[in-house]
Structure 1
Amino acid sequence: MAPSLFILDSALVVLGLYILRRYFINKNRPPVPPGPRGLPFVGNVLDMPTSYEWLAIAEWTKRWGDIIHVNVLGKHFVFLHSAEDAVALLDKRSSKYSDRPTLTMGGEMVGWVASLGLTRYSDRFRESRRFFNRIIGTKNALRPFHELVETEIHKFLRRLVYTPENVHEHIRKTASGIIMKITYGYSVTEGKDPYVDIVDKAMENFSVTTTPGAFLVDVLPILRYVPSWVPGAKFQKLATEWRAETMAMAETPFAMVKQQMREGTALPSYTKNLLETETLTPEKEDNIKWSAASMYGGGADTTVSAIYSFFLAMTMYPEIQQKAKEEIDRVVGKDRLPTFADRENLPYVEAVVNEVLRLNPVAPLGVPHRASEDDIYKGYFIPKDTVVIANIWALLRDPEMYPDPSAFNPDRYLRPNPDRNPRDFVFGFGRRICPGLNLADTTVFFTCAMALATFDISKAVENGVVIEPSGEYTAGTVSHPKEFKCSIKPRSFKASSLILAEFEQ
C-alpha cells in the first residue's frame, strides 16, 4: 500500500502546486499577449499554419493586434508585427532575447544546431562572431574582396549573354562563387560543381526543417525517440538523410582546405586564415569549420533569393527598370561597367534594391529568438523560454511606415521624408543580426547595377503570347520567387562587347 499512497500523495502535491500557481501566485501577474484561445491541453496546435506562416499569422493582427501569443502543447510563441515592438525587444532588450530556441528537427536531428544561425547565445556564438567580424564584419574589412566580387559578377554577365534562360542557375553559381572563394579559396567550376550541389541540398533542407510548426517533434521533443518504423515517423528517415547532407556541407570543403594547407597549395581564405592564426583546440577547430559553413550556407541561399527577386521585379515593372538605366547611363556612361566607387552616385538604383528587399524579404519570419528570462512588455507577460518571432514580412508591409505597402515604389526612399530603410530589418535584430550583411549587401547591389547597365529584362513571349510571371514565392524559412520565364537580352552590341572584354581582362 505504501507505494500507492506515495503516488497519490505526490499527485495531490503536484495538483496543489498547480492550483497555487494558477490561481494565487500568478493572480497578480500581467496577462500574456492576446491570441487565439486554443483548446485544453493542446493549446493552439490546430490554429498554427503549416506553410506561408507569415501571411496567415499577419491576418491575426486584424483581431488581436501587433503582438500575438499562442501556446502549442505548453510551448509559448510570441509573434511581433511592428517595427516598434521588434526593435524594442530584439534590439533594445537584446540581453534577454539573443538566445535561440532548441529546434529538435532542424537543429539537433538534422545538425544545424552547430551553425552560427542556430547556436545558443554562448561563448561559442561570441567566438564565431569574432571570426566573422575580423574577416568580413565591416565595410573596411570587406574592401580586399571588392575585386573578387566584381570578377564573379562579370562571369555572371557573360553567362547571361550565352544562356539567359538559365538566369536562376547563373545567380546561384555567382553567389556560390563569391562565397566559396572568400570562405575556402575555391573557384567554382562552370557547369555542375560538386560543392555547390552539396550546399544547395543542405540549404533546401534547412529552409524546410527550421520553419516554425513544420514538424511536431519541435514542440514534442520526446517524439525524436520514436522508431522510424512506427507509422507517422517518416521524419526520422528524413532526419537521417538530411543530417548526412548537412555534415557533408560543413566537412567536405573544410577537409579540402586542410589538405591543401598540408600540401602547401591552399589559397588565401577565411578558413585558412583562422586555421593559421588561432590557437587551435578541437573545440575551436570545430567552430571554425561550422562558422565557415554558416557563411557559405546562409549567405549563398539568401543572396540568390534577393537577386532573383530583382529580376522578377524588373520583369514586372519595366518603367522602373528604364528609370534605373537612365541613372546608370547618366552617372557611369556606356563605355564601362559600374564600380564600387559609383554606388553613392546611384541613389535610384539603391532605392530599387531597397524595394526588392522590402516587398518580399528573403526570410519572412527571420530566425526565432528565445526569451532567456521572464519579461514584461507593454503590460504583457512574456515567460522565460518563449519563442519570439518578428514577422519581418508584415512589418515591411506596415502602411504607417510604408504607405501603399503592396506597391513596388522605389521613390518612397527618395522623398524629403523617406520611408524607413528595409535594411534595418531584413538582416535581423540585435546581437543576432546577420554577420555577413555587408557582403550580402555588396553582392546584391552590384549584381543588380551591372545587370541594369548591360541587359534589357522583359516578359517572355512564346508563340506570340506574353508570359505573365505569377509573382508567387515559395514557403520555408528562406523564401524564393517561384521560377518564372523572362527575356534577358544585351542592351546593345556595345554592351555585349563590354561584357566579353571585361571577362577577358
Structure 2
Amino acid sequence: MPSEKEWLTFAKWGEKYGDIVSVSILGRRLVIINSIQVAISILDKKSSIYSDRPVVGMGGELVGWKNSIIFMPYGVRFRNGRRLAHQLFGKGVTMKQFLPMLELETRRSLKRIFIRPEGLSEHIRKTAGAIILQISYGYVIQEDNDPFVELAERTMNQFSLATASGGFFANLIPTYWFPGAGFKRTAREWASTLNDFVEKPHNYVKKEMAAGQARRSLASSQLEREMTAEEDLTVASIYAFFKAMLLYPDVQAKAQAEIDAAIGDDRLPRFDDRERLPYVNALALEVVRWHTVGPVGLPHCAIQDDVQFGYFIPKGSLVYANIWKMLHNPAVYDQPFEFKPERFIRTEGREPEFDPCKLAFGFGRRICPADASIFISCAMALSVFTISKYSENGVTFEPDTEHTAGTISHPTPFKCSIKARSEKASRLINEERFD
C-alpha cells in the first residue's frame, strides 16, 4: 500500500490490471475502482450495499471522527443525519438562507486578499473558517487573532492526515494489533484538538442561548463535524482556482469578459447571477475536475457479498474510488490535464463532458454538495482582480501543478500577483467592512 499519493499508484495498477483491482493486506481485502462506469454501478446504483464505512483506526476510532456522519455506519441514524444535511445544504429553501452570509464572507475575503495578496492561502482558510463557524455555531469571527479560526484550521489539517488511506497503517488494520504504537500519541493530541473544536464553540452557543442572542446554526445536530471536512474541500478548490488563473490567462480573460457583459463593473456577482454566467459556472466545474481535492475520498465498505463485472467482492471489503483517475481519463475528458472550462458547455454538435461534481464530492448515499462557495469565490475574484504570475527583480516565478498528499489534497504553495482590475474594482473591494 503506497504511503502517500496513492491515487497515482492506483491509476498505474488500473492501467495494468483493469478498472477493478483487488489487493489483500494481512487478510483485509481492498477493491480499487478506476472507471466512472464501474464506480457508478457499484457505489451509486448499489449504494444500499456499499454506503457503509469501515472502522478507520486512526482517524475514526483514535481521533474521534467516527461520531461524524462521514464515518457513521449505514443505518437509521446515518439516514436521518444525511436527510438533514441534504435539507440544509442541498438545493432546497433552507440552503438559501446561508447564501447572503457566503456572499458577505467572500466579499470580506476579497478585501483581505487585496490588502495583503501574499497571504492568499491564509485568507482563503480564514474565510472557510468563518463560514464553518457561522453555519455550524452562529459564531461571527473576530477579524484579528480569532481563536476559533485557528482551531478550525488545525482541525481540518489533522482530519486530512488522520484519515488518509496510506498515511497510517492503523486505518487499514485494527489498532489493537499494534500495542504501544507511536502513532497513538499523535492520535491523542489530534483527538484533543477535535474535542476542543466541538466543545468550545458549543459552550459559546450555550452562552448565547442563555442571553437570548443565539443565531440559527447546526450546533444541535451531528453536522458540524461534517462541515469541517467539506469546507476543507472548498479551501483546496479555491486555492487551485488561483493557481489555474496563473497558468491559463486566456481563460481568466474570457471569464472576465462574460462578467463584464452580463453584470457590468458597478457591482460584484451574486448567486442569482449564476444562470447568466455559463462560462464562469463551467470554470468553477473545471476547477473541481482539474484539481481533484479528494483523490480517493474515504473508503466504502461492502455489507454483504456481491458480484460486479465478473468479480467477487466479499463482505467487509474496503472499496476505494480513484476519483483522480476518473477525472483525468482521456477517454472521458479531452486533454484531461489542460484547464478547459468550455468542455462543460453544450454547443451545436457537442454535449458537455461528464459533470465532475457527480464524482468529486462522493457517491450514492454520501453525495456532498459543495459547489456554492467555489462558484461565488471564482465569480467575485474574477470580477475585480487580475491574477498573474509573480515577478521579482526581473525573475518570473513559474507555478507547478503538483499537489499535496492526504485525504484532502491541496495545490502546492505558489507565489502570485493579485491586483485590482481598475479603480472602480478597487472601490468595490474597499466598500466592504469587517465590523
With structure 1 as the length reference, what TM-score do the two structures score? 0.83
Letter in 1 for 2:113: L
| Cα distance change, pair 125–335 in 1 and its aligned pair in 2 (3 A) | same
Shift of 1:503: 4.3
Over alpha carbons, which structure has the higher Rg? 1
Q: Deviations over 1:410-429 (max 9, x none)?
A: 11112421111111111100
| Counterpart position of 1:192 | 145
Structural mapping, 1:326-405, within 5 Å: 326-405=257-336
Distance 2:223 2:342 in 1: 38
Confirm or deny that 1:119 pairs with 2:72.
yes
Deviations for 1:48-81, whole angstroms, at most 9, x for unmatched residues? Answer: 1111000111011121011100000000000111
Q: After superposition, what is the alpha-carbon deviation per residue over 1:198-231, rounded to whole angstroms, capped at 9, x for unaligned? A: 122122121112111322223331546613xxxx
1:88, 1:168 → 2: CA distance?
A: 38
The structure-2 alpha-carbon separation of the partners of 1:417 and 1:131, relative to structure 1 and needing over 3 Å to count, comes to: closer
Corresponding residue of 2:179 = 226
Residue equivalent to 2:198 = 250
* CA drift at 1:259: 2.4
1:475 lines up with 2:405 in the alignment: yes
Matches within 5 A, 1:275-286: 275=220
Secondary structure in 1 aligned to 2:70? coil
5 Å-filtered alignment, 1:71-220, equals: 71-220=24-173
Is the 2:129–2:153 contact (alpha carbons within 8 Å) kept by the matching residues of 1? no
Residues 1:270 and 2:218 are matched in the alignment? yes
Residue 431 of structure 1 aligns to which amino acid in structure 2?
Answer: R
- Equivalent residue of 1:244, what SS? helix
How far apart, CA to CA, are the structure 1 residues paired with 2:89 and 2:105? 17
Amino acid of the structure 1 residue aligned with 2:274: R
Counterpart contact for 2:111–2:432, Cα < 8 Å:
no
Kindly indicate whether the alpha-carbon contact (under 8 Å) linking 1:135 and 1:270 is maintained by their aligned counterparts in 2: no
- Does the aligned pair in 2 maintain the 1:180–1:186 contact within 8 Å? yes
Aligned partner of residue 381 in structure 1, secondary structure: strand
1:342: how far off? 1.2
- Matching residue of 1:291: 223
Q: Secondary structure at the match of 1:99?
A: coil
Sort the Cα spacing of 1:234 and 1:504 in 2 relative to 1 into closer, same or farther, 3 A.
closer
Distance 1:407-1:318 versus aligned 2 partners, 3 A rule: same
Q: Which residue of 1 aligns with 2:338?
A: 407
SS at match of 1:117: helix
Which structure 1 residue ranges, 5 or more long, are not aligned?
A: 1-47, 228-232, 276-287
Distance change (3 Å), C-alpha of 1:265 and 1:77: same
Q: Which moved more, 1:464-473 or 1:140-149?
A: 140-149
Distance (whole Å) between structure 2 residues aligned to residue 501 and residue 235 of structure 1: 48
Question: 3-state SS of the aligned residue for 1:173?
Answer: helix
Query: Which residue identity lines up with residue 196 of structure 2 in the other structure?
Result: A
The answer to whether the Cα contact below 8 Å between 1:73 and 1:219 also exists between their aligned partners in 2 is no
Name the CA distance, whole Å, in 1 between partners of 2:434 and 2:65: 40
Tell me which residue corresponds to 1:325: 256
Distance 2:243 2:2 in 1: 27
* Alpha carbons 2:301, 2:316 under 8 Å: kept: yes
RMSD: 1.6
Q: How many residues align?
A: 432
**Cα 1:219/1:145, change in 2 over 3 Å:** closer
2:426 maps to which residue? Answer: 496
Q: Do structure 1's residue 449 and structure 2's residue 397 form an aligned pair? A: no
Rounded to whole Å, the distance in 2 between the matches of 1:403 and 1:185 is 43
